[in-house]
Amino acid sequence: MSDIILEVKNLSVRFDGNKVIDDLSFDLREKDNLVILGPNGAGKTVLLKTLLGIFPFQGNIRWRENIKIGYVPQKFLADKNIPLNIEEFFKFKKINSEEIAAVLKSVGIKDKTIFSKRIGALSSGQLQRILIAWALIDNPDILLFDEPTAGIDIEGEETIYNLLSQIEKERDLTIILITHDLSVVYKFADSVLCLNKKAVCQGPPQEVLKLENLNQLYGGEIKFYQHGH
Amino acid sequence: MDINLFNFITAIFVGGAAGYLGSLMITKRMALVGDALGHVALPGMGLALLLGFNVSLGAFVFLLLGVFSVWFLERKSDLPTETLVGVIFVLSLALGFLITPEPELLHALVGDISRVSLLDAVVSVILSVSVLFVVNKIYKKIILASLSEDLAISNKIDIKKNNLIYLLVIAVIVALGVKVVGSLLIGALVIVPAAASRNISRNMRQYVLRAIFLGSLSCVLGIGLFMITGFPVGPLIILTSVFFFIISLIFKK
């Protein structure tokens, strides 16, 4: 049995008196992948940001000591015209050109001409890879992803998830992933947390992803077929 | 009015530092803050001219007062910051017009670099270099925060602290710049060279270096034009920078 990397106990987050997350408790073991499922407005992003220390909270969040957390945000780059190229973006962290090339290679970008490309000129799929590479620079123990495929077409979605699985195997790290995409869960998750302010269900995907749980989570009839992988 | 070497040196350093800071302000979409603060400085300049102490010092004290007032009002009211800045800005302008002795008013509004003494020049150079240094320290952090605040926080960047430093640096540059181009035009000295640079730059390094260069060059050429034409220096500096801006539109990348 591997070590606990994150312990969340009785976590509540309030905005203007409204509870966005209500009395949530869960553990995460090292090298386990947790997928957080839930409808819009269920508090998924809030949970991720609270884990990162962005929002104030009540209750307990205990990360393993000296843990290095990598984060891939959902919203990035309000100003598409910013004169900032990829090499400069990477050099916000202490890193040299060879190291940049190496980390880019690990997310499937081998073409060095991307160094001098403006960050606003990238496609959403390329930008997502760049952000993943940027998060990987410090060799994090855990990666937090907020809907990594939002705004990417279905083909690109597929490759991003393949990339995540590949990175996870190569680097042997823990991943927390928010997604809407139920098909990803079976491929990827060791455990699932269904969130709608409270934990509606949690546990391994085969156990948890039953129709009644999903109906409760999404609040209605849902068409869902278990994949036979 | 006589222009000497240390007027030039003052203008080169203040113009360069203003251009550098301006490049950050454009990225943060705070292009008009320099303008607003220029007006906030006016009563301080008026008092300094009335009582005979350093104009930049008077400006700086009122800038700190202005920044503090906005910060205080933000806590006392639900109005957007922009609105509060607007109130403080017109209050300062009205007070400034009442306080500033009439013969000096034009000098306060459009600046007069020929009044810069040797001591002023030395202090201006030291402060400008400090501004360049401090802005360099906070630049990447503030750019990262403007790309994604969440990403910045998760990388252990203290956004509030960096924003406070950034505001103080703006106050210093405005206080220095009002001597060169005056309280009405300091907003332009901060923004126009950086805007021109942005038009012709593809990366951050080019953007920053060209903003500094165009800030300094506008000041030097503006003073040069003053020596030829005798028109007020401040407007000539700004017109020079706007000229570069128009040229930059032609070469826009």
ipTM for the predicted complex: 0.85
**pLDDT band at residue A118 using 50, 70 and 90 as cut-offs:** very high
DSSP E strand stretches across chain B:
none
**Over the Cα atoms of chain B, what is R_g?**
18
Query: What is the β-pairing status of strands A174-178 and A33-37?
Result: parallel
Query: What is the β-pairing status of strands A142-146 and A69-72?
Result: parallel
One-letter amino acid at A65 equals E
From the list A222, A221, A223, A227, the residue with the least C-alpha distance to A206 is A227
What average pLDDT score do residues B145-174 get? 91
Instruction: Give chain A positions within 8 Å (CB) of B153.
Output: 52-54
What average pLDDT score do residues B111-121 get? 83
Say how far apart CA B14 and CA B179 lie, in whole Å: 10
Contact A83 B206 (CB under 8 A): yes
Look at residue A226 and tell me whether its pLDDT is greater than 70.
Answer: no
B5-250 is classed CATH 1.10.10.10: no
Instruction: Give chain A positions within 8 Å (CB) of B157.
Output: none
Where along chain B do its domains lie?
5-250
User: Closest approach of chain A CAs to the CA of B205, in angstroms?
Assistant: 8
What average pLDDT score do residues B231-253 get? 93
User: Closest approach of chain B CAs to the CA of A73, in angstroms?
Assistant: 7
Instruction: Give chain B positions within 8 Å (CB) of A49.
Output: 150
pLDDT of residue A113: 92
The tokens describing A160, both together, are 């991003």
What average pLDDT score do residues A207-220 get? 75
pLDDT of residue B13: 96
Mapping DSSP to helix (H, G, I), strand (E, B) and coil, where does residue A23 land?
strand
What average pLDDT score do residues B161-175 get? 92
Q: Which residues contact A57 (CB under 8 A, 6 or more apart)?
A: A11, A12, A13, A21, A50
Helix B55-76 vs helix B33-40: crossing angle, to nearest 10: 110
Look at residue A171 and tell me whether its pLDDT is greater than 60.
Answer: yes
Dihedral of CA atoms B176, B177, B180, B181 in degrees, nearest 10, equals: -160
Look at residue B175 and tell me whether its pLDDT is greater than 90.
Answer: yes
From the list A154, A205, A156, the residue with the least C-alpha distance to A177 is A205
Average per-residue pLDDT for chain A: 86
pLDDT of residue A198: 85
Dihedral of CA atoms A25, A30, A36, A41 in degrees, nearest 10, equals: 60
Asked if B19 and B224 touch (Cβ cutoff 8 Å), the reply is no
